[in-house]
């Protein structure tokens, strides 16, 4: 059995909202109140935008033996599939206009519940299933991954040590949503398990990030992504002192990492992980390119792929990156696999996107491909494009049908209508041929 | 990220003039590499989501371009922000009211 939270005193700060501290005892009262109102369902899709409410929802499920469902996206198609797999699922939401197609449970006002006289932290079995997180399989069905409480706590306690936060009570400001694995671990579970304070807000624009940091006491930590950090740097917005910045979802270019550390007089730690494994390695780019693995985590090569297991990883997992193992606890990234698509931390594969495109009635053939990052981009985000053979569909209708099936970040830019795809004699589709075809079509449509 | 940039439609706001509207439309098309002409952007259609099909990464990109060109730092927690990206007209109205260059 493990304690639900790592805070050992009733008055310890567990969260901030608008700069106001929320105590561990208040959190436990909110968790108890929400737990009483969760109804009969054993599966709760936690869609709360407010990170504190999300944490209360997650903890209330954990304390009552319920499982949180954390899909990466809420397209109609994916919700339909979730309903089929978890017929009793409800959606916990704090948005009046939530459009997720499940029975809604609106986040209730829990403030009337008095704080308990004696501070007693609920215990959760280490083997208890805390959440299902999902990746997109290449055939279209979302693949669930079981996340048990014990391994998650082991992982984020190590994260707190790795980040140099052990023995402190840090305030964690995050630009990432709590529903994705990185945000779940670094912005919710780490503060809960290691006695830090999470911040309810999710700042978006650079000026919002500065304001959110300014509202909380030091030590301050900013949990973010290359997209937001690049925007922060480009904006010229001054920040208050930040003791640590954390980046994940895509590797940072080393010069950018060094520039960020210098400009903001901070330490910047890059995290490596995946939905399947959780975070498994860190590096500080100003010190070197090599990643240091979590204790007990091992990497091995098999059939041309790299597999991770051991430590907090629940089952051997194939990694989507090309990896050079440099020591028993270290590795270097050599690039991503050609099929992998990672746009601002949302992951998919060309195979999955192609499958979705081909499944649309009226589409005869179609293929997605990578496009290079646009020069002068402030966010550094590269998109995907697609060529499609669909003589009876128009672009707007096809985009609308795609929108139902895939996350908007993967919508093709551009979507090019062609007479046929440049498949070679074996039916394969070289990426270069696709790019050339799209470029030729775009030129002729402008001319 | 989506919650910060609600595609609310509201009453038409002041645009800051046709010249500014055309300039901002051109900035958006160039910044996002859209394959439409600037003049094709519907001044009253939503920029976010189903209208022009922009997502939160695009909105961040536009925010950076706008801050560099006009000296306006957008904020998600201001009430006004809810309507800034409701349309090109709203965005231009906000820029006209807050520009420092």
Give the confidence band of B77 by pLDDT, cuts at 50, 70, 90. low
Which range has the worst mean pLDDT, A133-142, A232-241, A336-345, A408-417? A133-142
- pLDDT for A445 equals 54
ipTM of the complex: 0.77
**A378 contacts B60? CB cut-off 8 A:** yes
In a domain, B82, yes or no: yes
The full set of domain ranges for chain A reads 2-336, 340-446
Please tell me the predicted confidence (pLDDT) of residue A426: 77
Higher pLDDT pick, A416 / A377: A416
> What is the number of domains present in chain B?
1
- For B:31-50, CB contacts with A below 8 A are 31, 33-35, 49-50
A341 contacts in B (CB within 8 Å)? none
Answer yes or no: is B88 within a domain. Answer: yes
Q: In terms of DSSP H, where are the helices of A347-430?
A: 350-358, 395-405
- Please state, in angstroms and rounded to a whole number, the distance separating the CA atoms of residues A288 and A267: 13
Kindly state whether residue B9 falls inside one of the protein's structural domains: no
User: What is the domain extent for residue B41?
Assistant: 14-98
Nearest CA among A286, A310, A306 for reference residue A297: A310
Name the helix (H) or strand (E) containing A230: helix A226-235
Q: Distance (Å) from the C-alpha of residue A237 to the closest C-alpha of chain B?
A: 8
Taking only the tens place, the pLDDT of each residue in A330-360 is 999 987 777 888 887 788 888 889 989 988 9
Q: CB A374 to CB B67 under 8 A?
A: no
Q: Can you give the pLDDT at residue B51?
A: 67
By Cβ distance, the residue of A49, A95, A377 closest to B61 is: A377
CB A98 within 8 A of CB A105: no
Angle between helix A254-264 and A226-235 (nearest 10): 50
Q: Residues near A170 by Cβ (< 8 Å), separated by ≥ 6?
A: A191, A196, A197, A219, A220, A221, A243, A244
**Nearest chain A CA: its distance from B55 CA (Å):** 7
B37 band by pLDDT with thresholds 50, 70 and 90: confident
| DSSP bridge partners of A353 | none
How many angstroms separate the CA atoms of A224 and A210, rounded? 13
Nearest CA to A91 out of A70, A81, A105, A109 is that of: A105
What is the percent of chain B with per-residue pLDDT over 70, rounded to a whole number? 75
B13 has pLDDT over 70:
no
What does the mean pLDDT of chain B come to?
Answer: 79
* Test the B interface: residue of A99, A179, A378 with most B CBs within 10 Å: A378
Report the pLDDT value the prediction gives residue B65, as an integer from 0 to 100: 92
In a domain, B41, yes or no: yes
Report how far residue A31's alpha carbon sits from residue A9's, in angstroms, rounded to the nearest whole number: 17
Choice among A24-28, A127-131, A272-276, A371-375 with the minimum mean pLDDT = A371-375
Q: Inter-chain contact B64–A231, Cβ cutoff 8 Å?
A: yes
Domain A340-446 class, CATH top level: alpha beta
CA distance A7 to A364: 58
CB-side neighbour CA atoms (13 Å) of A208: 23
Task: From chain A, pick out residues whose CB is under 8 angstroms from the CB of B31.
Answer: 378
**Per residue in A205-229, is it b (16+ CB within 10 Å) or e — as a string?**
bbbbbbbbbebbeebbbbbbbbbbb
Q: CATH number for the domain including B69?
A: 1.10.1200.10
Range in A44-53, A198-207, B8-17 the model is least confident about: B8-17
CA-to-CA distance for A218 and A240, rounded, in angstroms? Answer: 10
- When pLDDT is cut at 50, 70 and 90, the band that residue B6 belongs to is very low
Chain A residues whose CB is inside 8 A of the B67 CB are: 206, 235-236
B1 token code pair: 């990220």
Query: Quick one: which of A197, A203, A254 has its CA closest to A232?
Result: A203
- Strands A67-70 and A129-136, by their bridges, are parallel
C-alpha–C-alpha distance, residues A239 and A248, integer Å: 20
Q: What percent of chain A has pLDDT over 70?
A: 98
Q: Is B4 a member of any domain?
A: no
Residue B1 lies in a domain: no
Q: Distance between CA atoms of A401 and B75, rounded to whole angstroms? A: 33
pLDDT of residue A143: 86
CATH match for A2-336 among 3.30.70.2190, 3.30.70.260, 3.40.50.300, 3.40.50.12780: 3.40.50.12780
Q: Would you mind telling me the total number of residues written for chain B in this entry?
A: 101
CA atoms within 13 A on the CB side of A112: 2
Is it the case that residue B4 has pLDDT exceeding 50? Answer: no
């Amino acid at each position: 059995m493990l304690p639900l939270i790592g805070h050992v005193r009733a008055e310890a700060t567990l969260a901030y909202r608008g700069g106001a501290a929320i105590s561990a005892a208040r959190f436990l009262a909110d968790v108890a109140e929400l737990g009483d109102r969760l109804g009969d369902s054993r599966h709760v899709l936690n869609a709360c935008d407010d990170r504190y409410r999300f944490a209360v929802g997650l903890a209330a499920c954990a304390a009552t033996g319920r499982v949180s469902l954390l899909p990466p996206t809420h397209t109609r198609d994916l919700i339909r599939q979730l309903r089929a797999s978890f017929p009793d699922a409800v959606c916990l939401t704090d948005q009046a206009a939530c459009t997720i197609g499940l029975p809604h449970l609106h986040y209730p006002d829990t403030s009337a519940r008095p704080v308990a006289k004696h501070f007693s932290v609920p215990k959760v079995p280490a083997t208890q299933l805390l959440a299902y997180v999902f990746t997109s399989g290449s055939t279209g069905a979302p693949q669930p991954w079981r996340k048990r409480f014990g391994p998650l706590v082991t992982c984020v306690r190590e994260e707190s040590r790795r980040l140099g936060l052990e023995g402190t009570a840090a305030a964690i400001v995050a630009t990432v949503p709590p529903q994705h694995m990185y945000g779940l671990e670094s912005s919710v579970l780490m503060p809960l398990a290691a006695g830090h304070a999470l911040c309810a807000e999710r700042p978006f624009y650079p000026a919002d990030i500065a304001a959110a940091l300014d509202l909380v006491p030091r030590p301050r930590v900013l949990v973010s992504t290359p997209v937001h950090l690049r925007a922060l740097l480009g904006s010229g917005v001054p920040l208050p002192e930040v003791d640590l910045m954390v980046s994940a979802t895509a590797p940072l270019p080393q010069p950018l990492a060094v520039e960020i550390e210098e400009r903001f007089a901070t330490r910047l730690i890059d995290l490596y992980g995946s939905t399947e494994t959780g975070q498994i390695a860190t590096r500080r780019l100003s010190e070197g390119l090599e990643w240091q693995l979590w204790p007990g985590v091992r990497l091995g090569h098999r059939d041309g792929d790299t597999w991770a297991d051991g430590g907090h990883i629940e089952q051997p997992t194939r990694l989507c990156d090309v990896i050079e193992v440099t020591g028993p606890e270290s590795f270097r990234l050599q690039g991503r696999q050609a099929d992998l698509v990672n746009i601002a931390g949302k992951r998919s594969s060309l195979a999955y996107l192609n499958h979705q495109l081909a499944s649309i009635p009226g589409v005869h053939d179609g293929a997605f491909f990578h496009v290079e990052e646009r020069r002068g981009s402030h966010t550094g985000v590269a998109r995907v494009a697609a060529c499609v053979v669909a003589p009876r569909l128009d672009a707007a209708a096809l985009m609308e049908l795609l929108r139902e099936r895939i996350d908007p970040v993967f919508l093709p830019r551009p979507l090019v209508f062609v007479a046929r795809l440049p498949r070679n004699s074996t039916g394969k589709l070289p990426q270069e041929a696709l790019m050339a075809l799209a470029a030729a079509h775009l030129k002729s449509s402008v001319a | 990220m989506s919650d910060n940039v609600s595609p609310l439609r509201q009453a038409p706001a002041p645009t800051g003039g046709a010249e500014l509207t055309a300039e901002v439309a051109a900035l958006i098309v160039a910044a996002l590499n859209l394959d439409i002409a600037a003049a094709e952007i519907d001044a009253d259609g939503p920029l976010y989501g189903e209208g022009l099909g922009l997502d939160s990464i695009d909105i961040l990109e536009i925010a950076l371009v706008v801050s560099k060109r006009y000296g306006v730092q957008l904020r998600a927690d201001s009430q006004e922000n809810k309507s800034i990206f409701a349309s090109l007209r709203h965005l231009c109205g906000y820029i006209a009211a807050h520009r420092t260059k």
